[in-house]
Amino acid sequence: MHNSAAHPFGRNGWVAAAPVICLILAMMPRSMSVVAPLFMLAALVAGNCGLIANPVSIQAPAEPLGWIRPPGELAFWSLALLALWALMSAAWSPVPAAGAPKALYLGLLVALLYAAVRLPLAVDDGVRDSAARVFVTTMCLLGILLAVEVATGEVVNRWILTHFEFLRPNTPKHIHVADGVVVGRTEAELNRRIALLSVLFWPAITMANFWLASERQRMRVSDAAAIGTASNGVSDLLRRPLLMAGGIGAILAIAASGHQSSQTALVVGIVVFALARLMPRVAILAVGTAWLTATLLIVPLALVAYKSGLHESPWLFHSARHRIVIWHETAKLVPNAPLLGIGADATPAVTRNLEAASPAQQSREFAISTGRHAHNFFLQIWFELGGVGAALMLVTGLLTLAAIWMLPAAVRAMATAHFAAMATLLASSYGVWQMWLQATLAASAFVMILGLSYYHAPSPDHAPGRWR
Query: Same structural domain for residues 284 and 349?
Result: yes
Question: Tens digits of per-residue pLDDT, 365-393?
Answer: 666 777 788 889 999 999 999 999 999 99
pLDDT at site 390: 97
Cα–Cα distances in Å, from 75 out to 16, 291, 443? 28, 15, 17
**Do 328 and 195 lie in a common domain?**
no
168 HSE (CA, 13 A, CB side)? 22
| Torsion 154-156-157-163 (CA) sign | positive
Provide the number of structural domains found in the chain. Answer: 2
Residue 437 lies in a domain: no
What distance in Å separates the CA atoms of residue 69 and residue 51, rounded to the nearest whole number?
Answer: 25
Residues 156 and 188 in one domain: yes
Residue 377 lies in a domain: yes
Do 148 and 248 sit in the same domain of this protein?
A: yes
pLDDT digits 0-9 by tens, 27-66: 567 777 877 787 777 766 665 555 444 333 333 334 444 4
Q: What is the pTM of this model?
A: 0.86
Same domain, 326 and 354: yes
Question: Residue 461's pLDDT band (boundaries 50, 70, 90)?
Answer: very low
Distance CA 222, CA 365 (A): 65
Phi/psi-derived region of residue 369, left when phi > 0, alpha when psi is between -120 and 50, beta in every other case: beta
Domain end among 259, 282, 309? 259
Do 365 and 412 lie in one domain? The reply is yes
Q: Which helix (H) or strand (E) holds 175?
A: strand 175-178
pLDDT (tens digit per residue) in 256-268: 998 999 999 999 9
Positive or negative, the CA dihedral 53, 55, 56, 57 is positive
Contact status, residue 242 vs residue 138, Cβ threshold 8 Å: no
**445 within domain boundaries:** no
Of the candidates 342, 395, 294, the one whose C-alpha atom is nearest the C-alpha of residue 98 is 342
Shared-domain flag, residues 267 and 329: yes
User: 338 or 156, which is more confident?
Assistant: 338
Distance separating alpha carbons of residues 98 and 373, to the nearest angstrom: 13
Contact 393, 82 (CB under 8 A): yes
Band of residue 105 on the pLDDT scale cut at 50, 70, 90: very high
Cα–Cα distance between 222 and 279 in angstroms, integer?
36
Q: What is the signed CA dihedral for 16, 18, 23, 25, rounded to 10 degrees?
A: 140
Same domain, 235 and 341: no
Is the residue at 461 inside a domain? no
Q: Are residues 279 and 173 in the same domain?
A: no
- Residue 448 in any domain: the answer is no
Is 282 found in the same domain as 186?
A: no
The larger pLDDT score, comparing residue 459 to residue 255, is at 255
Residue 464 within any structural domain of the chain: no
Q: What is the pLDDT of residue 230?
A: 41
Is the predicted pLDDT of residue 133 greater than 70, yes or no? yes
Q: Point out the least confidently predicted range of 221-225, 235-239, 357-361.
A: 221-225
Residues 248 and 265 in one domain: no
Question: Does residue 453 lie within any of the structural domains?
Answer: no
Q: Are residues 265 and 254 in the same domain?
A: no
Give a yes or no: residue 333 inside a domain: yes
44 or 94, greater pLDDT? 94
Domain that holds residue 145: 1-68+123-259
